Amino acid sequence: MKKVYTCFCTDILHEGHLNIIHEAKKYGDVYVGVLTDEAMVRFDRFPTVDFETRMALIRGIEGVKEVCVQDEILYDKVVQRLHPDYIIHGDNWRTGPMKAVRDNAEKLLAAYGGKIIDVPYTYSENVKRADAQLREKLSMPEYRRKRLKQLLSLRPIVKTIEVHSGLTGLIAEKTVVENNGEFDQFDAMWVSSLCDSTAKGKPDIELVDMTSRFRTIDDVMEVTTKPIIFDGDTGGLTEHFVYTVRSLERMGVSAVIIEDKTGLKKNSLFGTEVEQTQDSIEHFCEKIRAGKKVQLTDNFMIIARIESLILDRGMEDALTRARAYVQAGADGIMIHSRKKDPAEILAFCDTFRKENTHTPLVVVPSSFNSITEAELAAHGVNIVIYANQLTRSAFPAMEQTAKDILKYHRAQEVDARLMPIKQIISLIEEL
């Protein structure tokens, strides 16, 4: 019998999958691959049920000879192990980012005379509804909240991008790039105090109040499913912070990061150029403890941000604080620096990791931006936050357009660099 292979990246079975199996049986024995969690996450389909359940789902299909584990989007390993005569797939992989995967599979098969079979993709109402329901499920608070902790165990480094509106949320949610068959996308979103304030034309001094910050979270949540890390500034008064924790947790936010400053907070990138006061270790630990005490699930994280390097208090102070904050119950440590050279950040991470192997480390490489994600991961960093790049790219583009319209007294000159109207009106999906 010939071997026919297909791979499913799904939590549920619908008529489209069953149709592929039905077609596959016509060509020989059917082998079905199930993508691992790691591969699925990378590919843009965060699992809502665990791997074992997905394997069992496929085992339950009549006429499947073997269920296999596929741990990469590309088919290299499968082809090497199984030598299928055919790989069968919905024809939707002939275009878009999946085309690279198809091309790769075609090349692998061609080496020994194997063939691809493209089955017309099932575009039925049922399939559409099933897909939409899966995505909707991921946006629910109980799924979204725990997703950051899940990602911390699935990803070498959790890639996080700043969002401050529904539109930036959509960019974080939907941007996927394909590079030589590898897929990349952001894992999580950062609701930055700097960019949330900037979008409102306000300074980053805890002036934009929590009600407004929560409104931003809500706008983002309405159109996304990815987990949210909230920039909680100083956390405010401890008596207020406990309420913030409760609200964020209830909304489905995964983590809040609070920084060890007190009084009028200014943005860290000002460093010592402005008056900023670091909180005492005792007082900040009290705030962390109070927050941890009121949270209701195990999934919410309170991450302590250390400003010692920003305020030139030295490495020893930063490390002492990290130890104390972890002791007080912090679920992670964010270490910040405004130096161009990542040396002090890496020195902190190396020393911290030697004595603490498990507490997640977070960094925000806005100034030390030459460092790559792989280098950070090699020094024990678990979450990287690109904290302001979307805002900083949009502002000059908008300003230039405004200037040019004023200059030419019409909009024709700017049109070539704008998103076509057709595209912008179809950017937002309608229910």
Q: Are 312 and 304 in contact (CB under 8 A)?
A: no
Long-range residue pairs from 128-133, CB within 8 A, at least 24 positions apart, any chain: 130/12, 130/14
By C-beta, is 91 or 209 nearer to Mg ion? 209
Least distance in angstroms from the C-beta of 197 to Mg ion: 8
Check residue 364 for interaction with ligand SPV (CB under 6 A): yes
* Per-residue CA distances from 203 to 37, 199, 208, 305 (Å): 41, 10, 8, 20
Give the H or E element holding residue 256. strand 255-259
Check residue 216 for interaction with ligand SPV (CB under 6 A): no
Least distance in angstroms from the C-beta of 198 to ligand SPV: 9
Looking at 267, 278, 382, 391, which residue binds ligand SPV (CB under 6 A)?
267
Q: Is 196 a catalytic residue?
A: no
Phi first, then psi: give them for residue 175, nearest 5 degrees. -75, 115
Among the residue ranges 239-247, 264-272, 285-293, 371-379, the one whose residues contact ligand SPV (CB under 6 A):
264-272
Tell me the site size for Mg ion, rule CB under 5 A.
Answer: 3
Closest C-alpha to 390, from 164, 53, 215, 209: 164
Tell me the site size for ligand SPV, rule CB under 6 A.
Answer: 12
Residue 154 C-beta-side C-alpha neighbours within 13 Å: 22
Check residue 119 for interaction with ligand SPV (CB under 6 A): no
Looking at 269, 394, 405, 414, which residue binds ligand SPV (CB under 6 A)?
269
- Spatial distance between the Cα atoms of 212 and 210, rounded to a whole number of angstroms: 5
Classify residue 60 as exposed, middle or buried by CB count within 10 Å of its CB (0-12, 13-18, 19+).
exposed
What is the signed CA dihedral for 326, 342, 272, 309, rounded to 10 degrees? 20
Closest C-alpha to 269, from 368, 362, 197: 368
By DSSP bridging, strand 277-278 and strand 261-262 are antiparallel
Looking at 11, 231, 260, 331, which residue binds ligand SPV (CB under 6 A)?
231
Q: Which of 204, 231, 233, 331 is catalytic?
A: 204
By C-beta, is 24 or 194 nearer to ligand SPV? 194
Least distance in angstroms from the C-beta of 192 to Mg ion: 6
Check residue 160 for interaction with ligand SPV (CB under 6 A): no
- Spatial distance between the Cα atoms of 142 and 399, rounded to a whole number of angstroms: 40
Q: Is 222 helix (H, G, I), strand (E, B) or coil?
A: helix
Least distance in angstroms from the C-beta of 271 to ligand SPV: 10
By C-beta, is 183 or 284 nearer to ligand SPV? 284
Q: Are 190 and 387 in contact (CB under 8 A)?
A: yes
By C-beta, is 6 or 192 nearer to ligand SPV? 192
**Cα 18 to the center of its chain, rounded Å:** 31
The residues that bridge with 158 in the sheet, in sequence order, are 383
Least distance in angstroms from the C-beta of 259 to ligand SPV: 7
By C-beta, is 192 or 299 nearer to ligand SPV? 192
- Binding letters toward Mg ion, positions 179-218, x by CB under 5 A: --------------xx------------------------
Least distance in angstroms from the C-beta of 162 to ligand SPV: 6
Check residue 276 for interaction with ligand SPV (CB under 6 A): no
Q: What is the CA radius of gyration of the chain?
A: 24
Check residue 231 for interaction with Mg ion (CB under 5 A): yes
Looking at 193, 234, 276, 337, which residue binds ligand SPV (CB under 6 A)?
193
Among the residue ranges 124-132, 228-236, 320-328, 376-384, the one whose residues contact Mg ion (CB under 5 A):
228-236
Footprint on this chain of ligand SPV (rule: CB under 6 A):
192-194, 204, 231, 267-269, 364, 366, 387-388
Footprint on this chain of Mg ion (rule: CB under 5 A):
193-194, 231
Catalytic residue numbers, as ranges = 204
